[in-house]
């Protein structure tokens, strides 16, 4: 597939106005053709104007039309899956087979959201019919449904170049809600981003929809992202990345004349707690599995299990030995970008400076951006006294925390900040401790896993990928799963309307056949 490197603003191919870049192959440290265009505030304004002009039409398309768009996007992603995975592998150093799985997951998400749209439950229709005879005051007819917020800016993630990027879940959920979308492509994988953007744009064109339903911009530094967040026509923002980057966008959005929601997915160490009986019976198995999951994506996964907490006692030594063995066998593999690689090395230094002791290392790095797997260890008292030990280190590192007893395990849990997920490994004899640990974890995470690890995660109606700060900026919402559509919706009440003027979902005949609450039933 030929790449032009242009910005894609609706149906328009727009060349560079603010310089160009080439993609970097992190495995070879070589630049890859072609040049990719950078834009700025002018291109953001052009995309936002197109998105706003398209919004009223697109947000009022029928559920069938919107679902058909999502399915066309999925079909187009299937067609380009092979070249997309190949290009993404060049730009990220990740395995092509893994990226083919990502491409399939992205297409699946669009099809899942098409089904969500067809069912119509996301509209959250509620009807309270008129009561003209009610005393002492008659009640007018009230009908409620959810509508899209407006044009949405989606910031592509670096670590999953397909399923959390241009054609990721944020784009799928926003389009499903009826929002128009402008994606800021991540500069770590510009070619993969262009392939995905063209697949989406072609689906928009084939559906006969306004061109402003979808655009993709790209820029150097922070300026283009700031222009997106500042633009008065943008009504919501999604971001996946570092706490520093996410909070900078969040604060900026709150300082606008019209503040808007910024839905961020940021830092998480996804703690794993091994309860005593499970440790005694399965310590080595759990330790090996923990490290295997930690090393996925060279440790560059938001759901990477990064901290394991276990009580000194039966099973601890086999657990530790299995972790050391698995880390020692891990090959050094290229990390996504020079910046991520540098931050990883800096994070390791901070853990060591806070008192964590390295106990195992994988194969040494042989290339400039290789990440060497590392296992560090610390006791519970030191962990409780050094807040730096609980910070995320994005890369192939894990921290084993050896606590003295159940009380110290609970204290460690209370010391943690908000998390995307937490896991408990337990047996029946551990249920008493698990019941004490559970409410602590409920207050600190959006997903609790028993006898498995945080990664991978299903994309389903019950999925939650979010949690208290700093895991996300709003713990009421998820960025993965079918209910992630709720981020892009707001309720509108229609009072006293004639039936012919009501949106279809609210009419007496319910022509769409959507689920509705009538008088609370």
Contact in structure between 237 and 261 (CB atoms under 8 Å): yes
Query: Quick check: is 11 in a domain?
Result: no
The rounded distance, in Å, linking the Cα atoms of 416 and 268 is: 10
1 band by pLDDT with thresholds 50, 70 and 90:
confident
Residues above pLDDT 70, as percent of the chain: 100
What pLDDT sits at residue 346? 97
Mean pLDDT of 167-185: 97
425: β partners: 274
Residue 375's nearest CA partner among 401, 354, 350, 353 is: 401
Average pLDDT over residues 490-510: 97
What is the β-pairing status of strands 20-25 and 397-403?
unpaired
Q: What is the CATH number of the domain that holds 228?
A: 3.40.605.10
pLDDT at 3 over 90: yes
Mean pLDDT over residues 406-429, rounded?
Answer: 98
The CB-side HSE value for 342 (13 A sphere, CA atoms) comes to 3
Q: Is 499 exposed, middle or buried (0-12, 13-18, 19+ CB in 10 A)?
A: exposed
Residue 112 inside a domain? The answer is: yes
115 and 50 fall within a common domain: yes
Q: Which CATH number covers residue 412?
A: 3.40.309.10
Same domain, yes or no, for 45 and 107? yes
How far apart CA 485 and CA 113 sit, in angstroms, is 9
* One domain, residues 195 and 285: no
Model pLDDT for residues 204-253, shown as the tens digit of each residue: 999 999 999 999 999 998 999 999 999 999 999 999 999 999 999 999 99
Predicted confidence (pLDDT) per residue in 335-351, tens digit: 999 999 999 999 999 99
The mean of the pLDDT values for the chain is 96
pLDDT value, residue 469:
96
Residue 265 annotated to the active site = yes
What's the mean pLDDT in 369-382? 97
Give the residue with greater pLDDT, 424 vs 459.
424
One domain, residues 304 and 211: no
Task: Give Cβ neighbours of residue 439 (< 8 Å, ≥ 6 apart).
Answer: none
Q: Examine the domain organization and report whether 438 and 293 are in the same domain.
A: yes
The total domain count for the chain is 2
Instruction: For the chain, state the CA radius of gyration.
Output: 25
Number of Cβ within 10 Å of residue 1's Cβ equals 12
Q: Considering the candidates 243, 265, 377, 392, report the single residue annotated as catalytic.
A: 265
Kindly tell me if the per-residue pLDDT of 457 is higher than 90: no
Question: What percent of the chain lies above the pLDDT cut of 90?
Answer: 97
Domain span at 174: 41-130+139-266+473-495+499-506
Closest CA to 190 of 3, 1, 394, 2: 3
Task: Say yes or no: 239 and 324 in one domain.
Answer: no
Find the distance separating the first CA and the last CA of the chain, reported in whole Å. Answer: 53
Q: How far apart are CA 409 and CA 402, in angstroms?
A: 9
Please report the pLDDT score of residue 406 as a whole number.
Answer: 98
Q: How confident is the model at residue 456 (pLDDT cuts 50, 70, 90)?
A: confident
Residues 402 and 488 in one domain: no
With respect to residue 455, please indicate whether it lies within any of the assigned structural domains.
Answer: no
515 domain residue, yes or no:
no
pTM to 2 decimal places: 0.95
* pLDDT tens, residue by residue, 274-302: 999 999 999 999 999 999 999 999 999 99
Give residue 221's pLDDT: 86
Query: Do 258 and 378 sit in the same domain of this protein?
Result: no
Residues 233 and 101 in one domain: yes
Quote the pLDDT of residue 95. 93
Which pLDDT value is given to residue 455? 84
* Catalytic annotation, pick one of 194, 243, 302, 392: 302
Residue 122 lies in a domain: yes
**Other CB atoms within 10 A of residue 132 CB:** 9
Rounded Cα distance, 299 and 306, in Å: 9
Check pLDDT > 90 for residue 380.
Answer: yes
Three-class DSSP category at 307? strand
Pairing of the two strands 142-148 and 489-495: antiparallel
Look at residue 73 and tell me if it is in a domain. yes
Predicted pLDDT at 262: 97
Q: Is residue 30 in a domain?
A: no
User: Are residues 256 and 277 both part of a single domain?
Assistant: no
| 389 and 410 together in one domain | yes
For residues 442 and 489, state if they share a domain: no
Q: Return d(Cα 232, Cα 260) in angstroms, integer.
A: 9
Is residue 180, in this structure, part of any structural domain at all?
yes
């Amino acid at each position: 597939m030929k790449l032009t490197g242009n910005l894609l603003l609706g149906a328009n191919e727009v060349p560079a106005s603010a310089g160009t870049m080439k993609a970097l192959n992190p495995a070879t440290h070589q630049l890859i053709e072609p040049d990719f265009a950078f834009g700025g505030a002018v291109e953001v304004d052009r995309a936002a104007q197109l998105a706003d002009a398209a919004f009223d039409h697109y947000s009022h398309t029928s559920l069938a039309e919107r679902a058909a768009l999502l399915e066309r996007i999925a079909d187009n992603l299937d067609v380009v899956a092979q070249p997309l995975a190949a290009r993404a592998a060049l730009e990220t150093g990740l395995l092509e087979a893994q990226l083919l799985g990502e491409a399939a997951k992205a297409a699946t998400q669009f099809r899942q959201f098409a089904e969500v749209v067809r069912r119509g439950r996301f509209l959250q229709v509620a009807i309270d019919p008129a009561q003209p005879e009610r005393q002492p005051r008659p009640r007018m007819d009230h009908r409620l449904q959810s509508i899209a917020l407006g044009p949405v800016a989606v910031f592509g993630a670096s670590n999953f170049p397909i399923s959390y990027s241009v054609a990721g879940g944020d784009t799928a959920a926003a389009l499903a809600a009826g929002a128009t979308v402008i994606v800021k492509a991540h500069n770590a994988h510009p070619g993969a981003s262009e392939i995905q953007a063209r697949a989406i744009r072609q689906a928009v064109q084939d559906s006969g929809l306004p061109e402003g339903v979808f655009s993709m911009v790209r820029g150097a530094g922070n300026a283009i992202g700031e222009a997106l967040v500042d633009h008065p026509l943008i009504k919501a923002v999604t971001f996946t990345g570092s706490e520093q980057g996410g909070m900078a966008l969040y604060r900026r959005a709150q300082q606008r004349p019209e503040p808007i929601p910024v839905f961020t997915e940021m830092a998480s160490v996804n703690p794993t707690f091994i309860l005593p009986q499970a440790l005694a019976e399965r310590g080595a198995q759990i330790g090996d599995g923990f490290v295997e999951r930690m090393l996925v994506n060279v440790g560059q996964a938001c759901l990477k299990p990064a901290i394991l907490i276990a009580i000194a006692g039966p099973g601890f030594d086999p657990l530790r030995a299995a972790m050391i063995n698995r880390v020692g066998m891990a090959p050094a593999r290229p990390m996504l970008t020079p910046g991520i690689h540098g931050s990883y090395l800096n994070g390791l230094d901070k853990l060591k400076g806070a008192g964590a002791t390295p106990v195992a290392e994988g194969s040494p790095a042989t290339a400039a951006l290789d990440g060497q797997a590392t296992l560090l260890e610390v006791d519970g008292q030191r962990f409780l006294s050094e807040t730096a030990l609980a910070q995320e280190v994005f890369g192939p590192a894990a921290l084993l925390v050896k606590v003295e007893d159940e009380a110290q395990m609970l204290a460690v849990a209370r010391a943690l900040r908000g998390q995307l997920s937490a896991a408990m490994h337990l047996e029946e004899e551990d249920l008493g401790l698990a019941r004490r640990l559970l409410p602590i974890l409920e207050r600190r995470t959006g997903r609790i896993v028993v006898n498995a690890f945080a990664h991978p995660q299903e994309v389903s109606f019950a999925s939650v990928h979010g949690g208290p700060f700093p895991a996300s900026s709003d713990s009421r919402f998820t960025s993965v799963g079918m209910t992630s559509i709720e981020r892009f919706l707001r309720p509108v009440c229609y009072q006293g309307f004639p039936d012919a003027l009501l949106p279809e979902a609210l009419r007496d005949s319910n022509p769409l056949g959507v689920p509705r609450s009538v008088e609370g039933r």
